[in-house]
Structure 1
Amino acid sequence: MSPETLNHLLSLMIGFALAGALVSAYQAFAQRQASFGLLEDRASPRAFAAVPFLAFAAPFIIMRNTLRVDRCERRRFEFVMLATVLAGFWSMMSGTVVVMVLRALGLLG
């Protein structure tokens, strides 16, 4: 496996792990599930604070919603695949940001 492939795989895994940790922490503190509904409070500090949170937590929320709906209603394979690819790409991008920050801090070689 090439170093670039390993780097992308590391970014993907870190992105999904961070998303899961953020959503789990939110759920533990707020006693409700995180969702994109956090953005519904227009022009409030709460909505602005939700943007960076959702930027990193979105892959987990997308996959949770996709899998939950798929159990209740049979969705087409294409929809589930598209949601999975979107969540994976988003996770890889947010993981890349985390890897870059860790490297800048000297915590990752």
Structure 2
Amino acid sequence: MSPDTLNSLFSLLIGFAFAGALASGYQAMAERPAGFGLLQEGVAPKTFAAVPFLVFAAPFIIMRNTLRGARIERRRFEFVMMATVISGFWSLMSGTFFMMTLRAAGVLG
């Protein structure tokens, strides 16, 4: 496995782990699952604070909603696969950003 491939895989996994940690932390504190409905609460500081949270928690929320929809609503395979690819790409990008931030802070070498 090339170093670039390994770095991308690590970023993908870090992105999903970070998204899951954020969404689980929100659920533990708010006693309800995180969702994109946080953006529909009107113009308020809470809504603006939800945007950066949702940017990083979105891969987990997308996959949770997709897997629930596949099981409950019997969604087609193509829809589930498309949502998985979108969630994976989003996770790769947020994981890359997170890794770059850690490198800039000097935490990673």
TM-score interval for Structure 1 and Structure 2 normalised by the shorter chain: over 0.9
User: Residue deviations 1:26-67, cap 9 Å, x none?
Assistant: 000000010000000222111100000000000000000000
The count of corresponding residues between Structure 1 and Structure 2 is: 109
Cross-structure match for 2:34: 34
Cross-structure match for 1:83: 83
**Structure 1: which 5+ runs fail to align?**
none
Within 2, Cα distance between the matches of 1:32 and 1:75? Answer: 24
Within 1, Cα distance between the matches of 2:2 and 2:106? Answer: 23
TM-score of the superposed pair, with normalisation by structure 2: 0.98
Cα RMSD of the aligned pairs, angstroms, is 0.6
TM-score of the superposed pair, with normalisation by structure 1: 0.98
In the TM superposition, residue 73 of structure 1 has moved relative to its aligned partner by 1.6
AA partner of residue 87 (structure 2): A
Matched, 1:60 2:60: yes
Within 2, Cα distance between the matches of 1:104 and 1:5? Answer: 21
Provide runs of 4+ in structure 1 moved above 6 Å.
none
Within 1, Cα distance between the matches of 2:55 and 2:79? Answer: 22
Q: Secondary structure of 2:32's partner?
A: coil
Seq. identity, %: 71
User: Residue deviations 1:51-94, cap 9 Å, x none?
Assistant: 00000000000000000111112111110000000000000000
In the TM superposition, residue 106 of structure 1 has moved relative to its aligned partner by 1.3
